[in-house]
Amino acid sequence: MLTALWLLSLTSGAVWTQTLITCPRDRLCRRALLSGNDVVLQCDGHGAQWYFTSVGGEQLALLSPLSHFNPLPGGSLQLKNPQTFHSGLYHCQRGEGTPVVEYEIDFQDASSLHVTHKNLGQKPLCNKTVVLDEPVEIFTQWGPWQDCNRCQEPGERKRLGYCYVKGPAEPPTACGLYLGNRKMSPRRAQPELQVEACHTPCFFPRETHQPFFVFDIYPLGRLTSSLWLSCPLASIYRPVSWEMDSRPVTWQSQLSGQNNHTFLSPATGSEQLQIFHMATYKCFVEQELVAQFNPVSPERLEARRPGREAGPWRLGQAEALAGQADAVLQGLKLALGAGTILALLALMFKVLRPAQRRRSNPAVLVT
């Protein structure tokens, strides 16, 4: 049973690794979130049913399991790769019709994120007054700073800002929920991502024998000059960092134009990294080593050619074919034993524990 659940979590996204949105029972909670980034809406009630209506809609429609919506056994709703048109009212009720909780969600366009770095002197968007039915102020409502993505050495931390509207006699409301089908200047309607340098101590001792995923990356082809890598368990809502040949990949170097070997994806908050140079890459989530991407040697590449017997697969190893975006987590060929499963579950638990602040020594599991 554990094996099946763990394999399912790899192919469809581990639910317990995703951002959980909560709301008090019998309440309506309004939130702004970012498109393309998975979240789970909490609803405590086995057999709960979810209904949805888009912004400005009137009739609630029963949600059925689709590519973007996944009702969970405990009653919560997983939203996978939500888009801006999934903004609206999500209503959870028990089977007999008793309301439990409602969420009004504005999924703002992550592809239009305005990214700035405080240490480069880059400024966030300014407030703007526009006239709709009446004069209103458009501004950015900032979330809290995330934890530093590295410890005991220079790192970076980020925070997310969402487009909000404030009228003369109304509380601030997320832009998409306030505007409905009305249009506004695309530039000022942008969400924001702000980064700054940080330096914090490691609050927990380093651990040995920390398991992590190992992937192979194959040489870039003549027709493809880059490749996308995806960091398992990462999210725009969590601290994430990358290394290339043990050198940190930073937002500061990217936004200053000093880095032409890699590109951190703003839309995923660096969950994805575009590479233009073959090297050994590592990704960390909440200061924990989660995955390592190794370039395939010429000897191993020759051994994989048709007619030759391929060598054994290591834990978490997958072929990332050049030109195939976000293919790192697809086609995993795993050999799992009971000890391996427990070790991987331990990894997920360590990464997701609140207030975790440590950097681990690597230890590759090989089956």
Q: What is the mean pLDDT of the chain?
A: 79
Average confidence (pLDDT) over 241-252: 97
Q: Under DSSP, is residue 266 helix (H, G, I), strand (E, B) or coil?
A: helix
Give tens-digit pLDDT for 48-58. 899 999 987 77
Instruction: Classify the phi-psi angles of 224: left when phi > 0, otherwise alpha if psi is within -120 to 50, otherwise beta.
Output: beta
Give tens-digit pLDDT for 155-166. 999 999 999 999
Residue 308 has pLDDT above 60, yes or no: no
pLDDT at res. 363: 36
pLDDT band at 294 (very low <50, low <70, confident <90, very high): very high
pTM over 0.85: no
What single string gives the DSSP state of each residue in 36-47?
Answer: TS-EEE----TT
In contact, 75 and 92? CB cutoff 8 Å = yes
pLDDT at res. 40: 95
Among 2-6, 9-13, 307-311, whose mean pLDDT is lowest? 2-6
Residue 314 has pLDDT above 50, yes or no: no
Neighbour-count burial for 198-210, b at 16+ CB within 10 Å, e otherwise? bebeeeeeeeeeb
Element (H, E) at 178: helix 175-179
Tell me the two tokens of residue 106. 């504005």
Please give the DSSP secondary-structure letter assigned to residue 305.
Answer: S
% of the chain surpassing 90 pLDDT: 53
Q: Which domains does the chain have, with CATH numbers?
A: 15-108 (2.60.40.10), 110-198 (no CATH), 213-352 (2.60.40.10)
CA–CA dist 191, 9 (Å, integer): 30
CA–CA dist 188, 98 (Å, integer): 40
CB neighbours of 7 closer than 8 A, spacing ≥ 6? 334, 336
Comparison of pLDDT for 89 and 304, the residue scoring more = 89
